[in-house]
Structure 1
C-alpha cells in the first residue's frame, strides 16, 4: 500500500487536533462573516464583543456550537484532500528523475484536483456546520444536532440547500492551492539547508495559511452567507449576486467582516494541523504495518 492512506489518516488526525483547539475562533469568525452590518444591541462589533456576548447569552457551549460536525467535517476533508493530493503528487514524481521536486504549477494542479474532490464530497457537512455555528440559540430552545439540522435542510430546501454556496466553495479551492503550494515550496527550499523540525512545520503552516486566507477572504464571506438560511430579499442567487449585494449595502468593509478572528483561527489551525500531521504520520504508518495493510520495509516516510 502506498503512503496515501498514511497521509490521509495523519491529515485527518491533525485536522481534528487543530479544529478542537481553535473552534471558539471558528464560531466567532463565522458569526461575524454572516452578520450584515446592523447596529442592533445583539449585533457583534468585533471579535472580543462577539466572544463576551456569546458567553453571556449562551454560555461556553455557545462557542462550541456545531463542534461535532466540525470535527467530522475536518477529518473527512483532510483525509480526502491528503489522499488525493498525495496520489496526484505521486503521478508527477514518477515522471521525474530521482530527487527532483514538483514545480509550482504541478503543486497547484495537484491542489486543484484534491480541493475539488473535497468540496464535492464534504460541502453538505460544512453547510450544516455553518448553520449550527451561527445559530443564536434562545433560552429554553431545544438543542439541534447535525443530523437533525441536515434533515431539516433536506426537507425544506432539498439537496440544493445542502449545496448552497458550492460555487463559491469551488472557487475557494484556490485557498488550499495557495496554502499547500506556499508550504511545499518554502519547505523544499529550507530542507536543502537543514532538517526541519516540528516548530518549522508550525511556522510554515501558519505562514502559508496567512497568505491563502488574506487573498481569498471575500469569497469565504460570500460562501458562508450563501450557506445559511436567508430571507427572500436577502438571498444571494449566485456568487456574483452576493458580491453585488454586499458591495451595494455594506461597501468594501462587508467583504472583511470577522477577518481578524478568521486569520488568527486559520493561521493557528493550519499551524497545529501541519505540526500534528507530521507527528502523526509515523504513527499512521506504524498502525498500517501492525494491521498488515503495508510491509514494514515500505514504512519509511515519503
Structure 2
C-alpha cells in the first residue's frame, strides 16, 4: 500500500471523527454566517446561546441537519486532499533530495514549497468536492417553521384554547430534494456555487500545513531527532501543533468563508436584490454596503472553536492511523526502526 493511499485513508478517518465531534458547532456557524436579519442574529448572542435556541425551537435533530451528506463530504475531501497532498509532497521531497545531491540546499522541503504543495492539493479537492458542500450548507441552514395561524371554530387561532400549532418541516430537507432544487435553480453549474471564494480558501489549509510542518520541524530540531514524519511525538503534542496551525489559518482567511456560505445558500427573499449576489466581488460589496464590514467576521468565534478543535483531532487521529498502518503493512520499516547505512538529510512531516 502506497504512502499516498495510507495518508488518504487516514485523513478520511480522522476527518470523520472530527466531524462527528464538532458538527453542531458547524451548523450554528453556518447559520451565523448566512443570517442577514440583525434582530435574529446579533453579536451579543454566544455560541451556546444559539445552540440552545436551535434545540428549543427546532429540536436536537436540527443541530445535525445534513450530517450524512457532510460525512460523505468530509471523507471525500480529506481522502482526496491527503492523497494528492502526499503525491505532490513526494515529488517535492524527491526534487529537494536531487538538489541536495548536487550541492544545493539541505535536502528538505522549504516553507514556500510546502505552501505550494498544500495549495495544489487543496485546489484539486475543491474542484472535486464542492457540490457536496453546497448541499450541506443548504441543509444546515434549513429551519423548521410554524404554520400560519388559522381560524378554529370561527375564532382566530390565537384565541383558541388549544395550543397552535406544531413545528413542521419546510422543503427542501432531504438530500435528494436539495439536489433537485439546486439543479432547477442554477443548472449543473449551480453545484459549484461559491467555488471562487472556496478556491481562495485553499490558502487556509495551505497556511495551516505550512504552520504545522514549521512547528513540527522546529520541535524536532530542538529534540535533535531526524525520525520521519511525526514519529517521536506524542498524540497530545500533535493535537496542540494542529490546533495552533489551524488557529492562525482561520483568522487569516475567515472572511472568504463567510462569502462562500452566502453564495451557496438560497436567499430567503427571492426578489431582494440586496441579498442576491452575482459573484464573489458583488457579494463582498453588498455585504459591506448593507450590513457593515464586521459581517465578514460574523460567527468567527464559533468557527475558531470548531475548526481548531476539529483540526487538532484530525491531525492526532490521522497520525496515529498512519503509524498503525505502517506497522501493519511494512512491519515498522517505514517508521524509521531500521535506519539506512548512509545518513540522509532530515525530511519534513508528511
Change (3 A) 1:208 1:150: same
Q: Deviations over 1:43-79 (max 9, x none)?
A: 9934233111101111111111111111111111011
Whether the 8 Å CA contact 2:326–2:332 is kept in 1: the answer is no
- Counterparts in 2 of 1:100-119, with a 5 A limit? 100-119=107-126
Partner in structure 2 of residue 50 of structure 1: 50
Tell me if 1:282 matches 2:323: yes
Partner in structure 1 of residue 9 of structure 2: 9
Q: Which moved more, 1:59-68 or 1:31-40?
A: 31-40
Question: Of the candidates 158, 183, 196, which is equivalent to residue 154 of structure 1?
Answer: 183
In the alignment, the residues of structure 2 paired with residue 220 and residue 43 of structure 1 have an alpha-carbon distance, to the nearest angstrom, of: 18
Partner in structure 2 of residue 124 of structure 1: 131
Partner in structure 1 of residue 164 of structure 2: none
SS of 2:2's equivalent in the other structure is coil
How much does 1:113 deviate? 0.7
- Counterparts in 2 of 1:55-204, with a 5 A limit? 55-97=55-97, 100-138=107-145, 139-141=167-169, 144-194=173-223, 195-204=232-241
Change (3 A) 1:52 1:19: same
How much does 1:36 deviate? 1.4
Whether the 8 Å CA contact 2:142–2:173 is kept in 1: the answer is no
In the alignment, the residues of structure 2 paired with residue 244 and residue 53 of structure 1 have an alpha-carbon distance, to the nearest angstrom, of: 31
In the alignment, the residues of structure 2 paired with residue 16 and residue 300 of structure 1 have an alpha-carbon distance, to the nearest angstrom, of: 25
How much does 1:94 deviate? 1.0
Unpaired runs of 5+ residues, structure 1, are 290-294
Q: Number of residue pairs matched?
A: 296
Name which structure has the greater RCO, CA cutoff 8 Å, separation 6+.
1
In the alignment, the residues of structure 2 paired with residue 93 and residue 40 of structure 1 have an alpha-carbon distance, to the nearest angstrom, of: 51
Tell me if 1:261 matches 2:302: yes
Whether the 8 Å CA contact 1:23–1:64 is kept in 2: the answer is yes
In the alignment, the residues of structure 2 paired with residue 41 and residue 209 of structure 1 have an alpha-carbon distance, to the nearest angstrom, of: 26
In the alignment, the residues of structure 2 paired with residue 187 and residue 298 of structure 1 have an alpha-carbon distance, to the nearest angstrom, of: 22
How much does 1:155 deviate? 2.8
SS of 1:96's equivalent in the other structure is helix
Partner in structure 2 of residue 249 of structure 1: 290
List 4+ stretches of structure 1 deviating above 6 A.
Answer: 41-44
The structure with the largest helix share of the pair is: 1
Partner in structure 1 of residue 276 of structure 2: 235
How much does 1:14 deviate? 0.2
Q: Deviations over 1:137-195 (max 9, x none)?
A: 23222682323322321233211221111111111110100001100111011112333
> Root-mean-square deviation (CA), in Å?
2.2
How much does 1:265 deviate? 0.2
Whether the 8 Å CA contact 1:32–1:44 is kept in 2: the answer is no
In the alignment, the residues of structure 1 paired with residue 41 and residue 14 of structure 2 have an alpha-carbon distance, to the nearest angstrom, of: 38
In the alignment, the residues of structure 2 paired with residue 103 and residue 167 of structure 1 have an alpha-carbon distance, to the nearest angstrom, of: 27
Q: Deviations over 1:228-251 (max 9, x none)?
A: 012341111111111111111111
SS of 2:187's equivalent in the other structure is helix
Bigger radius of gyration among the two: 2
Unpaired runs of 5+ residues, structure 2, are 101-105, 146-166, 224-231, 337-349
Change (3 A) 1:60 1:43: farther
Tell me if 1:25 matches 2:41: no
